[in-house]
């Protein structure tokens, strides 16, 4: 019996030894995994901090307020490049009705957080888990949304969310809350092709942002969630429902009282479009070519070029350009019977400097950075090659500009004397004509 217990005890000890060995092996593996995870987090955090520190946040406000200008060969302003920005106004020129509606809807703790809202992030995290790893939005403060609009793409990924957060922290260090709100409202899209709260106010209500009412402010705040679904021009009923929801939120969050909100809800949405889309993209094909060259030759990103307030000096001659544009607008072109336009393009060059003085890249409606026949088309040179391939060699070999050229059919060119040259109609109209003719 004693020997039997010894054997059982020995077997039990061996099993426990195996268990302990397996435990420590797994522990070491888990410890390694945890260590590697911590290293990856540290590296990722360091990268995101570096990204945020090098984002030139201190120039963000100036960049949002500026447009990229194009100057001609005489140093005169010729126009502006397209940009996703509207008329920039100060926070004092934006009605508090708009400010309160936006804060109440988008970020009610805006004035108390430091760029990120732990409560909002927690709510977004719950949504992430419920939706099985799909980011469904939410959790972003106004500062984070400003960072996204100014620096990042719109893709819904965890890495973008992380970048957004670190950039928001840097923005909060650099700017006061009212400056952040000012930049956000001036840099947001409000649907119907308008950017910024000032242009949106003129587009929807025919008035400046400073005069917007409580009801109108709620409409503008509602558009921000989904401009394509809540702008009152295209989706009046959706906009009305969204407005009333926001007005009640303003009551719940202490931005207005119930009586004021009820009175606003009783109103309809009275639309008035006085938005003046003053397009300063004055010479489309020329400006397209300028953007193309800046990207290809100087490595400047299109988004930076359009939004960062560059000054671009060119060889443009505005008088030449206007004359070329007028010619294309008024000249006769033999268009097809089905309405298809006969296409044409033209470039005016200064032969002494190589300056491009004017460009027309095609006929019909212009598409931003679309096909430019003047700079991008590859076609046979046709008769334009004659001055280079015929006239210039003739002059180099002793011909004068007034040398007489016989108008007869000619046989005997080429090494085999079998190259035949004749007029297109095989008719000799002149005995001889000067070379210049």
pLDDT tens, position by position, 384-413: 888 888 889 999 999 999 998 887 777 666
pLDDT tens, position by position, 58-76: 666 766 777 789 999 999 9
Q: Is 302 a catalytic residue?
A: no
CA pair distance 307, 303, nearest whole angstrom: 6
Residue 163, burial from CB neighbour count under 10 angstroms (0-12, 13-18, 19+): buried
Q: Is the pLDDT of residue 167 over 90?
A: no
Task: List the catalytic residue out of 383, 389, 396, 415.
Answer: 383
Q: What is the pTM of this model?
A: 0.59
pLDDT tens, position by position, 310-362: 899 999 999 999 999 999 999 999 999 998 999 999 999 999 999 999 999 99
Ranges assigned E (strand) in 345-428: 346-349, 356-360, 404-406, 410-413, 419-421
Phi, psi torsion values for 433, nearest 5 degrees: -130, 150
pLDDT at 3: 59
Measuring CA to CA, how many Å separate 49 from each of 42, 143, 229, 360?
A: 10, 16, 36, 47
Higher pLDDT, 426 or 433: 433
Q: Is 106 a catalytic residue?
A: yes
- Residue 84 — pLDDT band, cuts 50, 70, 90? low
pLDDT at 383: 83
Tell me the pLDDT of the chain averaged across its residues.
81
Delimit the domains of the chain by residue range.
2-51, 85-119+175-265, 284-379, 383-434
The length of the chain in residues reads 437
pLDDT at 39: 47
Q: Which residue in the block uniquely carries the two structure tokens 């006769």?
A: 332
Can you identify the CATH homologous superfamily of domain 85-119+175-265?
Answer: Biosynthetic peptidoglycan transglycosylase-like (1.10.3810.10)
Measuring CA to CA, how many Å separate 218 from each of 104, 196, 239?
A: 10, 15, 9
Give the angle subtended at the CA of 36 by the CAs of 30 and 39, to the nearest 5°. 145
Higher pLDDT, 157 or 168: 168
pLDDT at 302: 80
pLDDT tens, position by position, 184-235: 999 888 988 888 999 999 999 999 999 999 999 999 999 998 888 999 999 9
Task: List the catalytic residue out of 95, 104, 106, 182.
Answer: 106
What percent helix, strand, coil does the chain show, rounded to 5?
50, 10, 40
């Amino acid at each position: 019996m004693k020997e039997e217990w010894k054997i059982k005890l020995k077997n039990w000890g061996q099993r426990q030894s195996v268990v302990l060995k397996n435990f420590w092996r797994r522990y070491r593996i888990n410890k390694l995994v945890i260590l590697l995870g911590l290293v990856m987090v540290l590296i990722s955090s360091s990268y995101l901090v570096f990204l945020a520190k090098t984002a030139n946040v201190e120039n963000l406000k100036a960049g949002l307020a500026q447009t990229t200008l194009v100057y001609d060969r005489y140093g005169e302003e010729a126009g502006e490049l397209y940009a996703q920005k509207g008329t920039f106004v100060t926070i004092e020129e934006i009605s508090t009705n708009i400010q309160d509606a936006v804060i109440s809807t988008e970020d009610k703790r805006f004035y108390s957080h430091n760029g990120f809202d732990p409560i909002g992030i927690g709510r977004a995290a719950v949504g992430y888990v419920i939706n099985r790893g799909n980011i469904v939005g939410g959790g972003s403060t106004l500062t984070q949304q400003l960072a996204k609009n100014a620096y990042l793409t719109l893709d819904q990924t965890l890495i973008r969310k992380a970048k957004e957060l670190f950039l928001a922290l840097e923005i909060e260090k650099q700017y006061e809350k009212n400056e952040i709100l000012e930049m956000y409202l001036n840099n947001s899209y409000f649907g119907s092709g308008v950017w910024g709260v000032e242009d949106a106010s003129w587009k929807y209500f025919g008035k400046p942002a400073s005069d917007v009412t409580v009801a109108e402010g709620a409409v503008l705040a509602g558009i921000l969630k989904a401009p394509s679904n809540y702008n009152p021009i295209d989706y009046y009923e959706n906009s009305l429902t969204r407005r009333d929801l926001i007005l009640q939120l303003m009551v719940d969050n202490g931005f207005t009282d119930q009586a004021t909100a009820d009175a606003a809800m009783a109103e309809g949405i009275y639309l008035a479009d006085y938005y003046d889309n003053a397009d300063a993209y004055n010479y489309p094909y020329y400006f397209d070519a300028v953007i193309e060259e800046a990207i290809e030759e100087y490595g400047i990103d299109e988004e930076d070029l359009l939004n960062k307030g560059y000054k671009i000096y060119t060889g443009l001659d505005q008088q030449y350009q206007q004359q070329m544009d007028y010619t294309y607008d008024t000249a006769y072109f033999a268009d097809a019977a089905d309405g298809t336009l006969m296409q044409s393009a033209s470039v005016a060059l200064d032969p002494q400097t190589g300056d491009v003085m004017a460009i027309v890249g095609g006929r019909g409606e212009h598409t931003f950075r679309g096909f430019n026949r003047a700079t991008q088309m590859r076609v046979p040179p046709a008769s334009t090659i004659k001055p280079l391939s015929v006239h210039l060699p003739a002059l180099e070999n002793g011909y004068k500009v007034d040398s007489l050229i016989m108008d007869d059919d000619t046989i005997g060119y080429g090494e085999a004397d079998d190259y035949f040259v004749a007029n297109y109609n095989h008719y000799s109209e002149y005995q001889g004509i000067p070379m210049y003719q």
